[in-house]
């Protein structure tokens, strides 16, 4: 995991035959802006050399924070460091906990019926209409069957899906069963469960591990962790948990300025950003990012995991049940 404190950009122009070409590259450092600039210059020079040699090279690196950053360091403002754990501010203003080896997993509840269920119902409804009305409707039967099946299949699928979820005890109960099934196969594991506005957050406490660990990947698959989250864990070599609310869930309608909120921000734009972040941070104190539900498993807490659990629960206000979730 790499979350640099300093960023710099290099811009290099050279002639390539009769054309002038320009490359832009970012550099980063935990030591100083000067070191970040040195790295940016070196990366720009290498990119230019590759272009001059005839290789296909992107001339500009997209300025992205976390999602979609494709393995580059996390480009977010560093708010605090606690050993190897780093607290950052993401592109829409929320605080995020980043850790290289304490396993978190995001599980979003699927509120929409699976598409294949809709297709199955569509086919069954269409065939039922054809079978019952073929004689009376003649050549119109197939167009009407397709129309009626299309109109009725989606709401029917959603209704059946809600009934099935209810029969299973609800989304949270289903998600718990998946965690319990995994822990039953790995009895040394211990998983803390937290309720979030959209699902569950899982925090593994019995051991430290990296995202690419075989058992971690199996855990992600078993509990059906969010696919984007899993991909970014692998790309960024870290686990991540948002510990303050999303602005729009707290009634903050205006986005963080300037846009986009990717770090670093121009010096002249910092006052505008500071006004927004101060207002956000003040309002966020009245909300929790998640709520602790209990543990599943052995009860073991690894010594390296304990301080991360304490920090996460403090920052997310997970132990304050009276606060609304955001």
The pLDDT assigned to 174 comes to 83
User: Alpha-carbon torsion 265, 266, 269, 274, what sign?
Assistant: positive
- For residue 156, give the nearest of 114, 115, 118 by alpha carbon: 118
pLDDT interval class at 161 (50, 70, 90): low
Q: Which tens digits make up the pLDDT trace of 205-261? A: 999 999 999 999 999 999 999 998 998 898 888 999 999 999 999 999 999 988 877
d(CA 219, CA 232): 16
Tell me the two tokens of residue 14.
């050279």
The pLDDT assigned to 179 comes to 96
What whole-number percentage of the chain has pLDDT above 90?
A: 59
The secondary structure element, H or E, covering residue 184 is helix 171-185
Q: Which tens digits make up the pLDDT trace of 102-159? A: 999 999 876 665 666 555 655 665 566 555 555 554 454 445 544 455 545 566 656 6
Q: Which tens digits make up the pLDDT trace of 56-102? A: 988 888 766 665 445 578 889 999 999 999 999 999 999 999 999 99
Question: Does residue 222 contact residue 199 with C-beta atoms inside 8 Å?
Answer: no
SS3 155: helix
199-204 vs 291-297, strand pairing mode: unpaired
d(CA 285, CA 244): 8
Q: Which tens digits make up the pLDDT trace of 13-66? A: 998 878 899 999 999 998 999 999 999 999 999 999 998 888 998 888 876 666
């Amino acid at each position: 995991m790499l979350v640099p404190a300093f960023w710099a950009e290099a811009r290099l122009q050279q002639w390539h035959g009769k054309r002038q070409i320009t490359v832009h590259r970012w550099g980063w450092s935990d030591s100083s802006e000067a070191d970040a600039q040195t790295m940016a210059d070196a990366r720009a020079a290498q990119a230019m050399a590759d272009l001059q040699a005839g290789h296909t090279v992107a001339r500009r690196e997209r300025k992205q924070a976390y999602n979609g950053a494709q393995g580059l360091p996390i480009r977010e403002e560093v708010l605090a460091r606690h050993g190897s754990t780093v607290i950052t501010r993401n592109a829409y203003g929320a605080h995020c906990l980043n850790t290289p080896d304490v396993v978190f997993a995001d599980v979003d509840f699927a509120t929409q019926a699976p598409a294949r269920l809709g297709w199955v119902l569509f086919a069954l409804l269409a065939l039922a209409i054809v079978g019952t009305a073929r004689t009376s409707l003649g050549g119109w039967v197939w167009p009407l069957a397709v129309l009626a099946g299309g109109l009725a299949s989606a709401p029917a699928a959603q209704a059946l899906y809600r009934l099935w979820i209810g029969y299973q005890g609800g989304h949270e109960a289903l998600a718990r069963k998946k965690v319990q099934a995994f822990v039953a196969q790995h009895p040394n594991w211990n998983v803390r469960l937290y309720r979030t506005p959209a699902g569950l957050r899982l925090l593994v406490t019995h051991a430290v591990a990296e995202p690419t660990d075989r058992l971690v990947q199996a855990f992600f698959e078993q509990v059906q962790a969010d696919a984007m989250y899993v991909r970014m864990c692998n790309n960024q070599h870290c686990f991540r948990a948002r510990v303050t609310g999303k602005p729009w869930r707290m009634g903050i309608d205006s986005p963080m300025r300037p846009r986009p909120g990717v770090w670093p921000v121009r010096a002249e734009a910092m006052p505008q950003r500071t006004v927004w972040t101060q207002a956000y941070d003040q309002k966020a104190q009245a909300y929790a990012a998640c709520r602790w539900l209990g543990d599943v498993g052995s009860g073991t807490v690894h010594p390296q995991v304990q301080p991360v659990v304490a920090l996460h629960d403090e920052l997310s206000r997970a132990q304050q049940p009276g606060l609304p979730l955001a």
